[in-house]
Amino acid sequence: MNASTAAVTELATPSGMAGVSPPRAQVRAGPVLIRHLGMSPSVHPEAYVAPTAVLSGQVSVGAGSCIMHGAVLAAEGGPVQVGAGCVIMENAVLRGTPRHRLLIGDRVLAGPHAQLTGCTIADEVFIAGGAMVGNGAHLGRAASVALGAVVHLGAIVAPQARIPAGWVAVGDPARAYPPGQAEAIEAGLAAAGWSFLPYICGVDDAGGRRDQLRTALKRYTAAMARHNRHDEVIGAC
């Protein structure tokens, strides 16, 4: 080392730190895995889970499946099961519920920002970005749900059926309604015996909407806090 190089090195090294390497930032090597109510995620050795994904509770991911960046699989009420050869794309949210586990078959794709809650998805189903599948719904084999479409509470979609972009599927068997037909959709839900706040939050349909919502949120926030207070981050796959 010549004198010039030594001078530069001295200036670049904090006093008293010569020969000491600066501390390295700690980098997490894998996704966030959370033990919830004593249940931990299970990921097949041949599956891939991105470093920014979150798996909480009784979640299982099958062989060859890919869970992409920002996806959240939360078994915080009921199990979440992803079969083999599936792709769960960026920022998708999958949740199990106390009344309905989330079951996904093999070779299923859930697009970016898709939301699946407490539903059953058969093999080879395609769910496009921004689509939603609600509690108690069932998608038959090779069915497809296009961009931004909704499969509502309890809807039973036949094998190979297609729900067009932005449409809403309601009932058993499911009937698809185009955007803007709110009254027909509400009538279909009523005929099938499904109502969101009573079914999801256990709130009585009687009374005003404002009181229902207040009661629902009070119950829901208390339940979420109770269920998640003792969660434990257990590390990477």
| 86-113 confidence digits (pLDDT tens) | 999 999 999 998 889 999 999 999 999 9
- The pLDDT value recorded for residue 36 is 87
The pLDDT, as a whole number, for residue 9 is 37
Neighbour tally for 164: CB within 10 Å: 15
Q: Does the pLDDT value for residue 179 go beyond 60?
A: yes
Distance separating alpha carbons of residues 228 and 143, to the nearest angstrom:
34
Confidence of residue 76 (pLDDT cuts 50, 70, 90): confident
Query: How many angstroms separate the CA atoms of 143 and 134, rounded?
Result: 15
How far is it, in rounded angstroms, from Cα 108 to Cα 111? 10
Average pLDDT over residues 124-151: 97
- In this predicted model, what pLDDT tens digit does every residue of 26-74 receive, in sequence order? 555 579 999 988 899 999 999 999 999 999 999 999 999 999 999 999 9
User: Taking the model in full, what pTM does it have?
Assistant: 0.79
